[in-house]
Structure 1
Amino acid sequence: MDMAARPYRSVLYIPGSKDRALEKARTLPIDAIIFDLEDAVAPGEKVAARGTLTAALKTSYGNRTRIVRINGLDTEWGEADAKAVAEMDCDAILLPKVENAAQLDALASLCDKPLWAMMETPKGMLAAAEIAAHPKLAGMVMGTNDLAKELNSRFRADRLPMLPGIGLCLLAAKAHDVVIVDGVYNAFKDDEGLKAECEQGRDMGMDGKTLIHPAQIEVANAAFAPSEAEIDLAKRQIDAFEETVAKGGGVAVVDGKIVENLHVETARKTLAKAEAIAALTE
């Protein structure tokens, strides 16, 4: 399946140094995994974690997209991480705190994998269009914890302080047809709060959500998948529009609302996403 076409409803962070977590991830109903060599690995374990992760990736993770987050290239581990990932059996490499396209150029010179960018600083937000336009960029990950720290913003359930930055990244990702997944929700036992934040991200246009705990998977998968009602509406819109066109018309009506070409295009994307999700579970 093409990386851009596949679902990214649930993207779980897994420490690259923990054998038990690496093994458990093979059994979880997640669309993608971020194998973390950065924040989740202590400084003294970072070198050994490369070998641990390389060995784990030699065994299949099924249909799950495998993304490896390295340490920044300005750290003592970043360059060696990138060179190690170049030899790993994974789908993409994720660079933290991306703030310009030059950083992606530097990474591309070390690792010939599709690139993903962590978007987590004010400079990154303001350079989102430049970053998304990079020819090797396949995805963006919102780092909302770091962004909140940089903004010195207070926590709000509606994430109002972060919406300008999130919006800039969304616009950039959609303009350049790259995947974009939302930041983590820290209270992993708060299903209602997680559901509300997932729905906000989905309403905005996010492709999925990064997760910090397996307990969050079910909520994210449900929020970012087309509902039965959305699938039913999409089918009826397509049928009604095709019937109208066959009769020489250009606009159909479904449930009292007009259906034009643009609505049909959205409806087809909804059905394609539902089919791609079903394919992952086969």
Structure 2
Amino acid sequence: MDQLVKSPVSPYSVFTRSEWAKLRADTPMTLTAAELDRLRALNDPVSLTDVEEIYLPLSRLLSLYVAATQGLHRATQRFLGTSQGKVPYLIGVAGSVAVGKSTTARVLRQLLTRWPNTPKVDLITTDGFLFPNAFLREHGLMERKGFPESYDTQRLLRFLADIKAGQGKVTAPVYSHLVYDVVPGEIVTVDQPDILIVEGLNVLQPARLPRDGKAIPFTSDFFDFAIYLDAEVALLRRWYVERFMTLRETAFRNPLSFFRKYADLTEAEALETALGLWSRINQPNLIENILPTRPRADLILRKGDSHDIEQVSLRKL
């Protein structure tokens, strides 16, 4: 972890895994091994021990934050003399490709759903807000897929603004990892959840500062709490390559897969391809766009060699 987090003037309180695990208190375990198997993403070996030591304390903290925020909204409404409906609590989950964002988001959703004050928890990924491949090809952006410019930012902002305004039945586009594209005409509907988890590569990226003083909103402006999954670049590179090699033997063999061409590569060719994709696309995006957003997170989960979360950094209030 860089010196900012370790510094005496750091905005974070830093916990070892064992220190953080004690903060679970008496939070009950509500996930079974079978349920965790269904939530676990490819090549992300999260265990029930990880849930007990990392995610149960986090779900306890978030439950307290959500309850406090709901109380603040009620107090504000009394002050203003209004009766506005409930405002969803938004949680952002950011980090590199292959770091385990999907698993973290799914596990948190299941744990938070089982708290009595947050019965409705929805999850959405920002993949659906990528421009369609046809648009990316037309504008020379296929090799920039996942970079900020490859997203329909205005559509994503409208979606989040509508959610935060308490609107019902807000729709978002759907992305297929099989065909590696937005699915035409397919949508997912989010209808006034208590909590919405938004997972994506660049969800914490700030807007550029305006020269004229006018507000330029960005995704992170709508979040009540933001989580960043962190790991050394060398580990992320290894995990990405391992996942690619596994997909080569599984999902890539589907005739409908966008990556079907990679299934017939030799092992050496597949390894070279994976390393090339990482060095040309994923690592530059990480270094230029994703990693710089880490200091904007309220919570940083730092992973070690075996995907275990070794350190937790919580922003001081």
Q: TM-score, normalised by structure 2?
A: 0.27
Q: TM-score, normalised by structure 1?
A: 0.29
Which structure has more relative contact order (CA 8 Å, sep 6+)? It is 2
